[in-house]
Each structure stands twice: as C-alpha cells, then as structure tokens.
Amino acid sequence: MASFRQRGDKWEYRIVYKDPFTQKKREKTKGGFLKKKEAQLAAREMERQLEDGFEQRNISLKAYLYEWLHEYKKGTVRQNTFDTHENSIKNHIVPYFKELPLKSVTPTKYQKFLNSLHDAGYSRRTVEIVHGTMYGAMKKAVSLRKIQYNPCEGATIKGVEKKREIKFIDSNYISPFLKEVYKYGYLYWIFFMVLIETGMRKGEAGALQWSDINIKERTIGIHKSLNYKAYKSKDPEVLFGDTKTYPSDRTIRISQTLTRALQEHLKYQNQNKLALEDDYCHELNLVLCKNDGTPIPKSSLFNAFKKSLERIDHPRLPIHSLRHTHVVLQMEADANMKYIQERLGHGGIEITSDVYAHLSKKLEDQQMDRYEDYMKDVFAGKIFTKKDGQKLGKAENED
C-alpha cells in the first residue's frame, strides 16, 4: 500500500514491500510530482511492477548471482556443488561482466563471454561448468520474473572435449612408494594405504570415524566427506559434509591386510589417547588423523605425497591418482566394471566405463607385452616346466 505526502509544492509516494527474492522489507520512494493524482498514478504503476517481480530493474548481475547463490543454492545442494557455483561466479563471471546490470545481459554478450573463456585457454569442460552455473541462475531469474528470457539459451561452447588422462601409480611402484611414505611418517602411510586399498577420495578418508569401521565384517561405511577448509574446527556440523554425490554414500568390503593394519592403528591411537587424555580430540573419533585426534591438513598430505614420489623417482601426481591406482589394481585382478563402480560410488556403470575405458586398453596392451616377452623365452627354449608346474629356468645344453 502506497502512502503520499506533500513536500513544499511537490508530491511524493512511498511504498513499503517485501522483496520476494530475499524476503527482506524494502521501500520505494519517488517525488517531484506536481499533483497528488500524478503521484498516485506513478505509485500504482510501480506497485504493478513490484507485483510482476521486476522491482530490481537496476540490480547488477553480480548482486543477483550472489543472492541466487546464497538464497536458492546454499543448503539445497551438496557443498561441492555450491563451491563449484561460487568458483564460477567469483573467478569467471563477475570478473568479466563486472557491474553490468542483470537486464543488460544479452545472448550476444553472453556468447562473447563464453568465447573469451575458450580463447583464454580454458578446457571445454571448464567452460561447460561455468555455463551450467550461469544458465541455472538465469533460468531462476526468469521464473522470478526478474528478466523476460534466458540469455544463455542456445549458446555455443567452443572446443573439443579432451579425453581425461588417468594418472596412477603402477603396481610395481606401490611397494617402494609405501616404504618411502612410512619413512616420511606413519600417519601418512596409513592414510595413503587406505586410499590405495579402497579407492576412496581423500575427503571421504579424512572424514572416517571408528563408528564407520566394522572390523568383524571387514567393511567401511563411507557416508560423509571432510571439509578441509574448516579442518581446524572441532564441530562435526562444520567439519563434515555430504559425500560428493548421493551414490557416493556406500559401504565397501576391505581386505584382510587393511583390516589388520586398522586394528594395529587403533592400538597406536589408543596409546595417544591415554598419553594426551583431555588434550586428545575424542569428540571427532577420527580414524585417519594427527596424533591429537584432529584432521591432517590437506597441505601436509600433499607434501608427504609429493616427497615420497620424488624419493622413488616417480613423476609428480595428484593425490586423487591413488583412487585411479585402486581401479588399476582391481582391473589387474580381473574385477568387473559393476563391482568397481559400486566401490567407487559412481552413479552408474557407464560413468566408470567411460572414465576407464581407455585404461582397459592400456592394461590389455601391457599384458600383451608381458605375454610376448614370455613367449619369446618359450620359443627360444629358455623356459621349461616340470609335470608339477614348477619352473626350471634356462635349459641346459644336452648332447
């Protein structure tokens, strides 16, 4: 409802309303009308606009995107999805459009923005992620009647999708790697061993609590992920978040080797608890943590991983490569894709197959190379076999 007042010989109106986007009270005022009737007509038109949802005609794209992010996305999507949207807005969209009004984003301007990302050398996948954020935000703006059409509709993304390069530690290097990690620090050894044995993401491993481990059944429940940005917090509500996707919430079986290692690790941890008493962070109940029960910082994990690879003269890799290493070990052991998919927590077998299809070919080629080397020895008479199947080695010259 509008109110009116006369200021000098001019009239002005004042409208108090609730912003449908933020649910906060706002007001619109405008003066300079010669007659009250003119002010009433102008107020009526403004009320119509407010009702139609076009009250923020001069809002910037930047302001709208952050309102969309915090009012409509925060608490409704998983943390990693929220972080992806925030990164797209902060590092790509806002730096390009700056303070451009929301209503001024046209299909042509938006296409130039996408092209600029391609020209700057970003991969097609990165551009697709940024486009997904912008498209979703603009779609919501249309439904809120802040703009009349989605300027992202029909946009073209340049570039060819690059094949994902799967990096992993070859099985021949795993033992030397773990030995070097152990020398670097026991806590890193048990952490990386868990990653290799289970295929978990580092955040999933960092969030493991002893209540997630069933030693008797030899299973691990993976139900949350560690928020490394808040690793200093002792509040589980802040420290733990959801797994990357809904299928990532899973329970997997573990080997006897890892089970025994975890049993010994529990004994080691109990000694720390007895020694530190109240100084130990009992409330988090973490499995893979520092000696005082708090999370291991991501930077510390990176340093331990990097240094250990350097000590075995192995090319630099991301820690995520240990997840791929687990898959390679499973494939070398002839595990089928469905089993691997369930262990990894992928949403469907097609995701696992797409990611690791070329890896299957590589393993097949490696196996064929080994087979050919073996057969060369066979044809050269270097290998004989007893009836019981034991190798004799090189053949001796006979008369």
Residues 217 and 132 in one domain: no
Give the residue, 268 or 377, on which the prediction is more confident: 268
- Whether 289 shows a pLDDT value over 80: the answer reads yes
Asked whether residue 150 is domain-assigned, the answer is: no
Asked whether residue 385 is domain-assigned, the answer is: no
**Which of 59-68, 264-273, 346-355 bottoms out in mean pLDDT, i.e. has the lowest?**
346-355
Please say which residue of 339, 354, 369 terminates a domain: 354
Element (H, E) at 6: strand 2-7
Tokens 């025994």, located at residue:
260
In the prediction, which pLDDT does 349 show? 66
Residues 204 and 347 in one domain: yes
In the prediction, which pLDDT does 12 show? 93
- C-alpha distances out from residue 255 to 123, 197, 219, 260, 387, Å: 39, 8, 9, 9, 34
Are 295 and 289 a contacting pair, CB within 8 Å? yes
Over residues 146-157, the pLDDT tens digits come to 898 999 999 999
Structure tokens given for 336:
């089928």
Over residues 220-268, the pLDDT tens digits come to 999 999 988 888 888 888 888 887 777 688 999 999 999 999 999 999 9
Residues 78 and 23 in one domain: no
Over residues 33-49, the pLDDT tens digits come to 999 999 999 898 888 77
Are 124 and 159 a contacting pair, CB within 8 Å? yes
Name the nearest CA neighbour of 220 among 268, 271, 288.
288
Tell me the whole-structure pTM to 2 decimals. Answer: 0.65
Owning domain of residue 134: 61-143
Asked whether residue 19 is domain-assigned, the answer is: yes
Residues 87 and 28 in one domain: no
Cβ neighbours for 162, distance < 8 A, ≥ 6 positions apart: 123, 124, 125
Residues 116 and 11 in one domain: no
User: Which neighbouring-strand residues pair with 209?
Assistant: 286
In the prediction, which pLDDT does 149 show? 93
Over residues 147-196, the pLDDT tens digits come to 989 999 999 999 876 666 778 898 889 999 999 999 999 999 999 999 99
**Which of 29-43, 86-100, 225-239, 272-286 bottoms out in mean pLDDT, i.e. has the lowest?**
225-239
Asked whether residue 17 is domain-assigned, the answer is: yes
Which long-range CB contacts under 8 A does 117-120 form with residues at least 24 apart? 117/92, 118/157, 118/158, 118/159
Residues 48 and 71 in one domain: no
Asked whether residue 364 is domain-assigned, the answer is: no
Residues 309 and 332 in one domain: yes
In the prediction, which pLDDT does 392 show? 44
- C-alpha distances out from residue 349 to 177, 248, 357, Å: 30, 13, 11
Residues 9 and 88 in one domain: no
Structure tokens given for 368:
């064929």
Residues 188 and 271 in one domain: yes
Residues 182 and 288 in one domain: yes
Residues 124 and 202 in one domain: no
- Mean pLDDT score across all residues of the chain: 86
Please tell me the total count of domains within the chain: 3
**How many other C-beta atoms can be found within 10 angstroms of the C-beta atom of residue 19?**
13
Residues 7 and 85 in one domain: no
Are 11 and 33 a contacting pair, CB within 8 Å? yes
Q: What is the CATH number of the domain that holds 226?
A: 1.10.443.10
Asked whether residue 189 is domain-assigned, the answer is: yes
Please say which residue of 107, 126, 143 terminates a domain: 143
- ∠ CA 285-289-295, nearest 5°, is 90
In the prediction, which pLDDT does 214 show? 96
Gyration radius (Cα) of the chain, Å: 30
Asked whether residue 103 is domain-assigned, the answer is: yes
